[in-house]
A = this chain, B = another copy of it.
Amino acid sequence: MIPANNIEVFFNPRTVAVIGVSLNPMKLGNIIFRNFLESNFRGKVYPVNPRTETIYGAKAYSSVLKIPDEIELAVTALPAEATPGVILECVKKRVKGVIIVSGGFSEIGEEGRKREKEISETAKKVGLRVIGPNCIGVYDPESGVDTTFLPRYRMSRPQRGGIAFISQSGAFGAALLDWAATRGFGISKFISLGNKIDVDEIDCIQYLAEDEYTKVIALYLESTSDGRRLMDVARKTTPRKPIVALKAGATVESTRAVLSHTGSLAGSDHVYDAAFKQSGIIRADDPQDLFDIARALSAQPIPLGDRIAIITNGGGFGVMTVDFLVKYGLRLAEFSDKTLRSLGRKLPPITSKGNPLDLVADADGERYKIALESAMADENVDGLIVIALFQSPALQPDMVGVISDIGNRREKPILVCATGGDFTRVHTQMLERAGVPVYPSPNRVARAMAALVTYRRIRNQMAKNEATLTI
């Protein structure tokens, strides 16, 4: 058992103080305060602003010390210069956690580094936990905590789902949350780490390993404060819960860029690569890949093997998917004689009976159902890729039900590939919400399936290692 550490307060505070809530609706403090008012947050939230009596009907306090209630979580968006003083007040108030969204710290140089040192020394003495600075904090769709200060019309918030997403960069996090939301991908928790003067990715992984809402941990990292500890924690986590990481700064050129971005040293890329492999962390190639893999792992069962069936209404997409399956080290399943006989009996002559199983352009939901049932029942098949090109008028909305009904049995993983415009988008979002991940290209669907197969291997390997260590 990994003990849950004391960062729970960032996700489930009973009381929150937002420090520096301007009356100007464009200012960060104002936006964060409104986030709490407008979300499903069930705790109490107090605005701090010495220059006004009330804000949005709530009484404003001149300082966190004046709030007549215990405060568990404080969020500050005040300028960097004012932040050390705010932290001293929070310590006095016995606040348990502070999120500092403000910039102006180590990312701007020596002066900022001094401020960070002052804050972290103050906080450490009393065990106050700090997220940030230079971050957008936390978004938790379950509890309603939302310190991301980007307006909702610009950055949509994702629905509830199984992916916990930790991002060292705030802008990266915001762009990906927004992208995820409009595609119907759900998340369990989001944490933007920023300059990491206290809470880091290791704390988060430890916490999320025990979090019931989190099925997979997705991590965007530019540097780690403690590679050894990261590996230890990951090794204990990956046999139970997959971790997918995107590490920026793979080259000498980009390492320099990291330094000026979050004031940290990126470290040698091949060291990270080896460390990820040894601790069972799956490495993603780019932001889309991070979510592509995490979505498959959060929603679908892990396959027993690497033999994949492809079912399609577009021959070309089927052919290309074969290319990518082979590229990513998977095998094309060979249907059993029983399956072939059954398909021959039930499907029209024009359909191919091999794998890829080409149901041809006029395939309807019923034809897909026959194919899916057969592949699902075939012991030679470990996983299914379903290509559904919704441009075909034969595909009616019942397709969503056909795929998700069979998917919900959770016997073998099903991933869908669909490319198109607005009509396609409506259907893929329904599939996403029914727990079936959809990918826009043969490359990406095959890569996601390969990640499921990889995680099966990791889980077995890591569990074996752990067993050896325990003995």
Contact = CB atoms under 8 A, between A and B. Distances in A.
Interface of A: 26, 103-104, 108, 150-151, 153-156, 167-172, 174-176, 178-179, 181-183, 220, 222, 246, 248-251, 253-254, 256-258, 260-262, 266, 285-289, 313-320, 322-327, 332, 349-350, 352, 354, 356, 358, 360-361, 389-393, 418-425, 440-444
Instruction: List 9 A-B pairs, minimum CB-CB distance, nearest first.
Output: A261-B315, A169-B316, A171-B314, A182-B421, A172-B316, A254-B322, A286-B443, A178-B420, A175-B419
Nearest to A260: B352
A356 B423 CA distance: 38
Contacts of A443: 285-286, 288-289
Most chain B CB inside 10 Å of its own CB: which residue of A150, A174, A176, A391: A391
A222 B322 CA distance: 13
Contacts of A248: 316, 319-320, 323
A393 to B, nearest CB: 6
Given A155-B421, A423-B153, A332 B253 contact: yes
A389 B178 CA distance: 10
Nearest to A287: B441
B257 A391 contact: no
Contacts of A178: 391, 419-421, 423-424
Given A169-B315, A253-B325, 4 more contacts: A108-B349, A258-B315, A258-B319, A262-B315
Contacts of A153: 423
Instruction: Please give the count of copies of this chain that the complex contains.
Output: 2
A185 to B, nearest CB: 11
B169 A314 contact: yes
Contact of A324 (B266, B286, B325): B286
A360 B323 CA distance: 41
A322 B257 contact: yes
Contacts of A313: 171
Contacts of A179: 419-421, 424, 440
A95 B276 CA distance: 65
Nearest to A312: B171
A316 B254 contact: no
Contacts of A392: 150, 154, 171, 174
Nearest to A286: B443
14 contacts: A154-B390, A156-B422, A172-B317, A175-B314, A182-B421, A250-B326, A253-B326, A254-B320, A257-B358, A261-B318, A262-B315, A287-B320, A288-B441, A288-B443
A170 B261 contact: no
A287 B446 CA distance: 14
A262 B314 CA distance: 11
A448 to B, nearest CB: 13
A419 B176 contact: yes
Contacts of A350: 103-104, 108
Contact of A318 (B257, B316, B319): B257
Contacts of A169: 314-317
Contacts of A322: 251, 253-254, 257
Contact of A442 (B108, B287, B424): B287
B361 A154 contact: no
A103 B348 CA distance: 14
Nearest to A320: B248
A316 B171 contact: yes
B257 A354 contact: yes
A361 B28 CA distance: 13
Nearest to A171: B314
B175 A389 contact: yes
Most chain B CB inside 10 Å of its own CB: which residue of A322, A356, A444: A322
Given A108-B349, A179-B420, A222-B316, A171 B389 contact: yes
A250 B257 CA distance: 38
A238 to B, nearest CB: 24
Contacts of A176: 419
